[in-house]
Amino acid sequence: MSQSSIAWFRDTLLQPSEPPRGQTGVRHWLRARLFNGWLSSVLTIMALLVIAAAVNAVLPWLANSVWQADSLGECRRLMNGEPGACWGVIRERWPQLLFGFYTQDAYWRPLASFVLLFAALGPILFKWVPRRALWFTAVYPGLAFWLIWGGSLWHPVSAYLGLAIAWLLFRMMLPLGGGVAVACASLAATAWWLQGMQYLVLAASNLSPVALTAVSSRDLGGFLLSFVVGVSGIAMSLPLGVLLALGRRSSMPLIRVMSVTFIEFVRGVPLITLLFTASLLLNYFLPPGTSFDLILRVIIMVTIFSTAYMAEVIRGGLAALPQGQTEAAQALGLDYWKAQRLVIMPQALKISIPMIVSTFIGLFKDTTLVVFIGLLDPIALSTAIRASTQWQGVYWELFLFIGGVFFVFCFAMSRYSIHLERRLKTDHR
């Protein structure tokens, strides 16, 4: 046989064959996953015993549930002395748990803002949503504020006009330098919001009075309050955290020292301390007679707290990138901000996705800490419900409902994180 007739690679495909006996089926899965060795078998049996005991204790309690009842005493009469869940408290008090003391005939307003939130997040979270819908994302914060708190529509319109003035002035002053442009734009926006805005609102309200019934912040409570604080903190902490992370890695000593000082101080202070600062001490640093809404103060402090942690998360993503990425961006002729926007930051954010979402979930759950400064979050409302004569003695039903609602939203954020990681995955390992 000549050497040229020898095939060094297969030129035909092998026919598919059945897997070896014992390598498929339920039996193989049980042996590989649950009973792979004596230690795995012991742990599996112990876990099954714990699950069986939990089901045996909880299932009869759930099976004997009562939904139609106006008090705990009526629940117990309907249960005939047997243990069971009194879900009548949820059926009767769910509006209070969701909206606090919000006006009942205006429930459609927070519900509309909640539905529109998903429309505003669509262009950011999902690739298939057209990018031109980002204009609604930019408009949504003012629209949501108007729907929830009410008042004249010209208040958010005037606030957006201040941003437009700042942007135009920034573009005009940009040839003089970035620092000068930012300073001029900031001063112009601040002057507009403090002085010029009120005159425009007054004039526009007289010409075209478009308004909703005003709702006081003390009427906000329940999950509505948690969503307002949590969503606001999440939306603002990510961009501020990016800027703070870049400031900590800056080559300018002043910016780097200020960023490090801010991050280390805020991370070293418990959130409850910042909330007490927002509730009790912040007014002492404001001019006399200044009215600063408590919920706005809480949002600011929660955002500051989350921003410090977000900055460290993003800094970890930046540190994980090889130096060659920065050098490659410089070799392409990109300046600092273009290199960060087009090359560095997309990769750093991709690496940091799990920790970013974990920080968001922690922030959303930490909104329950506002109970310590007198705001009526779901935990505070559950305490008030249990203090009433009708439902005194109800515990598990309220806490299970509150925990279930928090779990739904936190689980949704974690699943979207997994989806985003898979969508952005570029390697094939």
Domains of the chain: 27-63 (no CATH), 93-102+219-424 (1.10.3720.10), 152-212 (no CATH)
340: DSSP letter = I
Count how many Cα atoms sit within 13 Å of the Cα of residue 153 in the half-sphere of its side chain: 11
Backbone angles phi, psi at 48, to 5 degrees: -65, -40
Report the pLDDT value the prediction gives residue 3, as an integer from 0 to 100: 55
Rounded to whole angstroms, the Cα distance separating 268 from 294 reads 24
* HEC-encoded secondary structure of 75-96: HHHHHCCCCCCECHHHHHHHHH
Mean pLDDT by 10 residues, the chain (429 residues): 60 76 77 85 93 90 85 84 85 90 90 92 85 87 91 86 86 74 82 80 81 87 92 92 89 88 91 84 66 84 92 90 85 83 88 91 91 87 87 87 93 91 71
Mention every residue, 6+ apart, whose C-beta is less than 8 A from residue 149.
Answer: 214, 215, 217
Report the pLDDT value the prediction gives residue 22, as an integer from 0 to 100: 66
What torsion, rounded to 10 degrees, do the Cα atoms 282, 283, 286, 289 define?
170
Helix, strand counts (H, E) of the chain: 18, 2
Report the pLDDT value the prediction gives residue 307, as an integer from 0 to 100: 93
Burial category of 42 from C-beta neighbours within 10 Å (exposed 0-12, middle 13-18, buried 19 and up): exposed
Report the pLDDT value the prediction gives residue 196, as an integer from 0 to 100: 78
Report the pLDDT value the prediction gives residue 263, as an integer from 0 to 100: 92
Mention every residue, 6+ apart, whose C-beta is less than 8 A from residue 154.
Answer: 200, 201, 204, 205, 210
Report the pLDDT value the prediction gives residue 427, as an integer from 0 to 100: 60
CB 165 within 8 A of CB 188: yes
CB 191 within 8 A of CB 162: no
Report the pLDDT value the prediction gives residue 362, as an integer from 0 to 100: 92
Rounded to whole angstroms, the Cα distance separating 331 from 69 reads 72
Report the pLDDT value the prediction gives residue 313, as an integer from 0 to 100: 93
